[in-house]
Amino acid sequence: MFDPKQPPQNLDDIRALLRDLPEADTAARDAVLAREPNLTKPAGSLGRLEEISLWLASWQGNAKPRATRPRVTIFAGSHGVCDQGVSAFPASVNQQMVENFINGGAAINQICKAVDAELRVMEVALEIPTNDFSREAAMLDEDCAEAMAFGMSAVEPGIDIFVPGEMGIGNTTAAAAIAHALFGGTPADWTGRGTGIDDATLERKTRVVGDAVILHRNQMNDGLDVLRCVGGREIAAMAGSILAARFLRVPVVLDGYVSCAAAATLFKMREDALDHCLIGHMSVEPGHKSLVEKLGKKPLLEFNMRLGEGSGAALTLPLLRAAAECHNGMATFETAHVSTGKDS
Ligand SMILES: Cc1cc2ncn([C@H]3O[C@H](COP(=O)(O)O)[C@@H](O)[C@H]3O)c2cc1C
Ligand SMILES: O=C(O)c1cccnc1
């Protein structure tokens, strides 16, 4: 069982946690299902809002779904694979953007303000780039587990929704390598323009992704091996936070390509590992559509965004709030004296 006071020391500790995942709360689920038909609206007329309130309650383990204390945490990490020239921006942008997050100047600051969500930033050993995974595994077993454990600490009791966000120049290369390693296809299927690279850089990035998956293939036997070999520290921290959220009964809203690649490493371990997660939006990064299909989920929004930082996921928080408010606050046919239509 997950104990925040005893963080995992290695990836086998994480594998043990994954064998022991809590399930959705059936009593909360049944209570929501029983109340829903009594609310003053035609059955099913709130569409996905009804799905969301049921999902929130089931994973929070409470018949009253809540969306009053959402937290967005941006994990920042730096990537050795940037040495291969795979991004339009230099790795120095990571630290600069961390300052920008702290000073309130990034897109995610404005979105969190607009949707009334708490925002935190956690540097995941930002000053130490991962190894360049085009040459060697990005992380050692214990380093990857440490980053995951750090991510786990971002999810604290009292939060009712968690959004893992990321900042890490080069991390769409890591996301592409993860997706290619987990789900096959060709490197080009999974490699996109990230921050906006030109054609020559896209060709190089695609080659880096394909070669890395070939280089590490004998070491990548499960999702956590893939995370260690071709992931990054902020990606591992996101995966850790998603796992901790499951144990702490905090539903998760995933963001774009990088966030879903982190989550996919857990999905590869167990197909039900992401049942407590929704996908907030469909990113323009082309691999995201295929990744979303592999995860068997339907993003809430399609807003032509491709930023990361948790931005597309944070934008959906008012929808989750509205879903919870409708379920909890609506009158029933009986209390509001509204005819159910059945006796007329
Ligand atoms: C100023 C700036 C702010 C960002 N915020 C998120 N990203 C996004 O872009 C990066 C991934 O793209 P690539 O793999 O092409 O480097 C990540 O840091 C991601 O969070 C940003 C990128 C930049 C330049
Ligand atoms: O979809 C994403 O998460 C994304 C896309 C481009 C750059 N950074 C992140």
Whether 1 and 20 have beta carbons less than 8 Å apart is answered as: yes
- Give the CA distances from residue 85 to residues 131, 189, 200, 203, 204, in Å, rounded to whole numbers and listed in that order: 14, 20, 10, 11, 8
Q: Give me the residues paired with residue 162 across strands.
A: 71, 252
Let me know if residue 13 belongs to a domain: no
Let me know if residue 155 belongs to a domain: yes
3-class DSSP state of 8: coil
List the structure tokens of 59: 């994973």
Residue 258 Cα to ligand 2 midpoint, Å, equals 6
Let me know if residue 62 belongs to a domain: no
Atom of ligand 1 nearest to the CA of 96: 1
Helix (H) or strand (E) holding 127: none
Cβ of 165 below 6 Å from ligand 2? no
Q: Active-site positions?
A: 309
The tens digit of pLDDT for each residue in 324-338 reads: 999 999 999 999 999
For residues 294 and 135, give the distance between their C-alpha atoms in angstroms, rounded to a whole number: 28
Cβ of 256 below 6 Å from ligand 2? yes
- Give the CA distances from residue 29 to residues 50, 56, 64, 299, in Å, rounded to whole numbers and listed in that order: 12, 9, 10, 22
Cα Rg for the chain, rounded, in angstroms? 20
Residue 189 structural domain: 69-319
- Give the CA distances from residue 105 to residues 19, 22, 100, 109, 336, in Å, rounded to whole numbers and listed in that order: 41, 38, 5, 6, 47
Residue 221 Cα to ligand 1 midpoint, Å, equals 29
Rounded to the nearest 10 degrees, how much is the dihedral formed by the CA atoms of 244, 246, 251, 252?
A: 50
Q: Taking 90 as the threshold, does the pLDDT of residue 343 lie above it?
A: no
Tell me which residue has its CA closest to atom 3 in ligand 1.
97
3-state secondary structure string across 80-107: HHHHHCCCCCCCCHHHHHHHHHHHCCCH
How would residue 344 be classed by pLDDT, with cut points 50, 70 and 90? low
The tens digit of pLDDT for each residue in 13-38 reads: 999 999 999 999 999 999 999 999 99
The tens digit of pLDDT for each residue in 34-51 reads: 999 999 999 999 999 999
Rounded to the nearest integer, the mean pLDDT of the chain is 98
167: exposed, middle or buried (C-beta count within 10 Å: 0-12, 13-18, 19+)?
A: buried
Has this prediction a pTM greater than 0.90? yes
250: Cα within 13 Å, side-chain hemisphere: 27
Q: Give me the residues paired with residue 73 across strands.
A: 120, 164
Total tally of structural domains belonging to the chain: 1
Let me know if residue 26 belongs to a domain: no
Name the percent of the chain lying above pLDDT 90.
Answer: 98
Neighbours of 75 (CB within 10 A): 32
Let me know if residue 115 belongs to a domain: yes
Residue 342 has what pLDDT? 86
Name the percent of the chain lying above pLDDT 70.
Answer: 99
Q: Identify the nearest ligand to the CA of 106 by its number.
A: 1
| Binding pocket residue ranges, ligand 1, CB within 6 Å | 87-89, 93, 97, 166-173, 194-195, 307-309
Checking ipTM against 0.95, whether it exceeds it is yes
For residues 268 and 27, give the distance between their C-alpha atoms in angstroms, rounded to a whole number: 29
Domain with residue 232: its CATH number is 3.40.50.10210
3-class DSSP state of 207: helix
Let me know if residue 344 belongs to a domain: no
